[in-house]
Amino acid sequence: MHENCSSILYDTIAEMQNINIRTLDLNRLNDAEIDELSDIIFRYGFWGEKSHLSIERKKDYLTKNLRSRFQDILKNVYHDKKIVKILILSFVNEILELNLSTDDFNMIFVHDNIDRIIRKRREDLGDLIDYTSDTIKVKSSTISKSLISSTVIQKDDILESLIQTSKRLDSLYHGNRKYTNALKNLASASYLSFIFDYELDASFLISYYEKIKENSFNKKNLFFWQQYAISCVNLKEFARAEKYFQTSYSLAHRQGRDFSTFQIDNHYARYLLEYQIYSRNLEKSLDVFIRAHKLLLKRHTVDDAINDRYYQFRVAVLYKEYYDTFFDKYSDDDKKIFLDRCKEMNSNLQTYMKNNTEFEAKKYIYDCQRNLEYILGWPNSTVFSNGEKSPLKNYLVLSKLEKTGMIAD
C-alpha cells in the first residue's frame, strides 16, 4: 500500500499548509508497542513455558530472539539449493500471480520430489510457506517481496529460477491457458522491475531476456518483444528498443488488419520521446514529437468499446520535459505547432476526465494535467524570436479567434 500510494499522498500533503510529514514503519514496533504486544500475549495465555519470565526478559525475547529467528531460518535453508529454488519459485509465484499448484511445481522441478524435500525441512519452511498436496503458498506477500529483494537471496539465483521456470513452461504451455499467462507474466517488464525494486543492472535483465528469447512461445509472441523493448527503454538501451519494437509490430501485422496495436503504439511513442530527450537532437525533435503525438491519439476502432484510452496520458506526462528541453530553441512557427499538439492532448484529457469518474486512482492523470497546464498556462509567457514576450493565455485566445475567423492571421 505504501509503495503504491505514497507518491499520491505526498503530492496531496504538499499542497496543504503547516503539515509535518513523517513516515511510520508498521513493520517495526517501538518500545510502547512491544509492551502492549507482551500484554496481549499474556492476556491470552500464549507465553506458555515463558510465562515466568520478567517483563524485561519477555521484551528481550520479543525484540532479540524472534528477530533472529527469521535470519536463522534463512541461513538454515540457504545452503540447500533445492530448497532455495522452491522458495524463490514460491515467492515469484505469489508476486507474479502465476497461480502454479504443487503439481506444477513438480512439473517444473521434474527430477526432484517436492513433497519429500519440503517435508524434510518443514520445521524451517513452516514460517515461510503453507504446503498441502494441492498448493505451495507463501504466508505473506510482503515477506515474499522483502526477501526476494534482499541480499539474503542472490539475484543470480532468482534469475536462474526465472529462466528455469520459463523454459520448463515453454515445453508445456500448448493448450494450457494458465501456463500461457504465466509465460507472459515471466516476461513482463513491470513485474520484473517490481521484483528487483526497480534497481537492476542493465546487463542482468538483458541477459535474462536473451536467455529466454529462443523459447518457442517467445519467438512468435509480440507481447514478449514489446516487453523486451520496454525494458530496453527503461535501461536507456535505445538501439535495442527500436529493433524489438519493430519485431513486435511485425508480429502484430501478422494478426490481420483488425488487430489493435494501441499498446505497442503507446510504448513506442514513449520510446520516441524519451530517446529524443536523452539524445538532445534538436533537428529532428519536432518531427519526432509530432510522430509520437499521432501514435498516442491514434484510434483503434476494434477496441474503442472496451479500452478507456487513458494510456496516452501516461506517456503525455513526458510533454513537459520535452517542452523544457526543446521549446525555447524552436522558431515561432514551430512553437505554434508544438503548442497546438499540446492543446489537442489537453482537450482529450479534459474530455476523458469529464466522462470517467474512476480516474482519481490514476496519479498520472493529475501529473499529465499539471504538466499540460505548465506548458499552456503556468509559465505565463513564451519568448519569440524577436525577443518579445507574449502571454501564453493570450496566445491561446488569439489562436481560438483565428480558428473562428473573427480575426485574420
- Which cell is 199 given? 534497481
Report how far apart, in Å, the C-alpha atoms of 106 and of each of 87, 99, 133, 139, 158 are: 14, 14, 11, 20, 18
Higher per-residue pLDDT: 71 or 324: 324
pLDDT at 390 over 70: no
pLDDT at 382 > cutoff 90? no
Q: Which of 7-21, 54-68, 346-360, 375-389 has the lowest mean pLDDT?
A: 375-389
State mean pLDDT over 378-385.
47
pLDDT-derived band at 69, boundaries 50, 70, 90: low
Over residues 19-33, mean pLDDT = 70
- Per-residue pLDDT, 286: 97
Grid cell digits, residue 330: 524552436
Return the C-alpha cell found at 267: 510504448
Percent of the chain with pLDDT over 90: 33
Question: Model confidence at 228, in pLDDT bands (50, 70, 90)?
Answer: very high
Task: Give the pLDDT score at 393.
Answer: 44
Instruction: List the beta bridge partners of residue 136.
Output: 131
Residue 399 binned pLDDT confidence (cut-offs 50, 70, 90):
very low
> Which sign does the torsion angle of CA 110, 114, 116, 117 carry?
positive
pTM here is 0.70
- Band (pLDDT 50/70/90 cuts) for residue 352 is confident
CB atoms within 10 A of CB 144: 22
What percent of the chain has a predicted confidence (pLDDT) above 70?
73
Check pLDDT > 90 for residue 342.
Answer: yes
How far is 324 from 302, CA to CA, in rounded Å?
36
Alpha-carbon distance 398 to 237, whole Å? 42
Q: Are 322 and 296 in contact (CB under 8 A)?
A: no
Higher-pLDDT residue of 124, 388: 124
Distance CA(76)–CA(78), nearest Å, equals: 6
Q: Which candidate, 408, 273, 279, places its Cα nearest to that of 338?
A: 273
Q: Are 365 and 349 in contact (CB under 8 A)?
A: yes
Q: How confident is the model at residue 291 (pLDDT cuts 50, 70, 90)?
A: very high
Beta bridge partners of 129: 138
| pLDDT category of residue 288 using cuts at 50, 70 and 90 | very high
Residue at grid coordinates 474512476: 358
Q: Do 371 and 320 form a contact (C-beta atoms < 8 A)?
A: yes
Instruction: Report residue 316's pLDDT band, with 50, 70 and 90 as the boundaries.
Output: very high
